Amino acid sequence: MKILNLLCFVQILLNHHAVFFIGTGENMSVFILLNCKTYDEGTGENAVKLAKACREVAESAGVEIAIAPQIPDIYRVARAVDIPVYAQHVDGAGPGSHTGKIYAKAIKEAGAAGSLINHSERRLTLADIESSVTALKENKMMSVICTNNVATTAAAAAFNPTYVAIEPPALIGSGVPVSKADPDIITNSVDAAVLVNPNIKVLCGAGISQGEDLKAAVELGAKGVLLASGIVKADDPKNALYDLVSLI
């Protein structure tokens, strides 16, 4: 038991160091994931254009930017750019009689590096979240479980995904950044998630589009952000991305 306790102590220590390091602005560790949803501005060839803008800004600013186009667009986006491409959803289904399900192996073969799971616009059961994370891990892919509050963030951390992304539903698409509207939800989510899984990395989303939003999120303990309309529907998405990364 003492060993277990020691372990606990070390993990908490490590975690707090990690938070400390992030706060220094070492921007290489910030992760930005752009969700194209079903916006026409992010469909088909428009998704390819957005992906190219992401790639340019990522390289220029030295940050990691990934894009999540619609599932039918993964293949052509992945062939056009070398930044990570994520699916917006994946099922835990294996090979077999699963018509219409999004099979992890299929999105991997199409070029995806990972997937969102349980986005507020595509909620899954607890059992299905677990099987989706497992399917991604089996295919050596990244997993981002989306959650809606502190308690669900902690629960999702138990699955040990690559990231948990907290997005208060009321703020999604609102233009009001979560880092302003409810900064406590970020710090509390990070704290609760780390108690469950000291290695977990928390992203935050909802309403984020500008440089100060990203900076605030990172200062509150997030390892990065999930964003959508603020960039995808911007008049000039590339400039919007440059602004986003300008303060880190």
Tell me which residues are annotated as active site: 119, 167
Question: How near is the Cβ of 123 to its own copies at its closest, in Å?
Answer: 4
Residues 6 or more apart whose CB falls under 8 angstroms from that of 90 comprise 102, 103, 104, 107, 115, 116, 117, 132, 135, 136
| Binding of residue 7 to its own copies (CB under 8 A) | yes
State which of positions 179-198 bind its own copies (CB under 8 A): 192, 196, 198
State which of positions 116-145 bind its own copies (CB under 8 A): 116, 118-130, 134
State which of positions 218-237 bind its own copies (CB under 8 A): 228-229
State which of positions 24-83 bind its own copies (CB under 8 A): 35, 37-40, 43-45, 68, 70-76
State which of positions 195-214 bind its own copies (CB under 8 A): 196, 198
Q: Any idea what DSSP says for residue 27? A: G
One residue of 18, 27, 56, 173 binding its own copies per CB under 8 A? 173
By C-beta, is 31 or 159 nearer to its own copies? Answer: 159
| 13 vs 29: CA distance, rounded Å | 19
| 192 vs 205: CA distance, rounded Å | 17
Residues 6 or more apart whose CB falls under 8 angstroms from that of 32 comprise 58, 63, 64, 65, 66, 214, 224, 225, 227, 244, 245
By C-beta, is 29 or 134 nearer to its own copies? Answer: 134
Span interacting with its own copies, options 6-14, 51-59, 210-218, 238-246, rule CB under 8 A: 6-14
Distances (CA, A) of 98 to 73, 122, 140: 21, 18, 21
Q: Give the position of tokens 């928390």.
A: 202
Residues 6 or more apart whose CB falls under 8 angstroms from that of 140 comprise none
Of 201, 202, 205, give the one whose Cα is nearest residue 227.
205
Q: Give the position of tokens 């989706």.
A: 132
For residues 104 and 87, the answer to whether their CB atoms sit within 8 Å is: no
One residue of 20, 24, 28, 96 binding its own copies per CB under 8 A? 96
Question: How near is the Cβ of 152 to its own copies at its closest, in Å?
Answer: 5
One residue of 20, 24, 99, 140 binding its own copies per CB under 8 A? 99
By C-beta, is 110 or 248 nearer to its own copies? Answer: 110
By C-beta, is 44 or 211 nearer to its own copies? Answer: 44
